[in-house]
Amino acid sequence: MTIQWFPGHMAKARREVTEKLKFIDVVIELLDARVPLASRNPMIDEIVSHKPRLILLNKADLADPSVTEKWKTYFEEKGAMVLAVNAQTGKGTEKNPKCM
Q: Residue 1 pLDDT more than 70? A: no
Q: Is the Cβ–Cβ distance between 31 and 57 less than 8 Å?
A: yes
How far apart (Å, rounded) are the C-alpha atoms in residues 14 and 79? 22
Residue 86 pLDDT: 94
Residue 65 pLDDT: 97
In a domain, 12, yes or no: no
Q: Which domain holds residue 67?
A: 26-99
Q: pTM of this prediction?
A: 0.83
Buried b / exposed e along 4-20 (16+ C-beta atoms within 10 A): eeeeeeeeeebeeeeee
In single-letter form, the type of residue at position 29 comes to: E
In a domain, 56, yes or no: yes
Query: Which run of H or E residues covers position 31?
Result: strand 27-32
Angular region, 59: left φ>0, alpha ψ -120 to 50, beta rest:
left
Q: Residue 29 pLDDT more than 70? A: yes
Q: What is the CATH number of the domain that holds 38?
A: 3.40.50.300
Residue 46 pLDDT: 87
Report how many domains make up the chain: 1
Q: pLDDT tens, 35-94?
A: 999 999 888 888 887 899 999 999 999 999 999 999 999 999 999 999 999 999 989 888
Residue 8 pLDDT: 82
Mean pLDDT value of segment 17-46:
92
Q: Residue 4 pLDDT more than 80? A: no
